[in-house]
Amino acid sequence: MAKPNVAGIFGKIQFVENFPDYKVKVVDNFADLHVQVVKNFADKSGKWEIVDKFPDFKLKFVEDFPDFTIKYVSNFPGPRK
């Protein structure tokens, strides 16, 4: 199965255990998406606002068989080639 277009994964993110939209793995190197956690204005690729209700996407952390990988960053969020 092909990886999702990670450039479109931004906005309000909720972490769940069941029925996620995507499964993600946090890595230190060679991530598919660099993620910057913000409190407001999660309006660009890689900017995530963590919420408990009404998410744009529901994600589950996994160690094996992720849909894509992420790395948390302070600057320059977005997809990596």
User: Does pLDDT of 81 surpass 90?
Assistant: no
Mean pLDDT of 68-76: 97
In this prediction, residue 77 has a pLDDT band, given cuts at 50, 70 and 90, of very high
Q: For 32-65, write each residue's pLDDT tens digit.
A: 999 999 999 999 999 999 999 999 999 999 999 9
| CB crowding 28-63: b at 16 or more within 10 Å, else e | eeebbbbbbebeeebeebbbbbeeeeebbbbbbeee
pLDDT for residue 3: 79
Would you give the DSSP letter of residue 4?
P
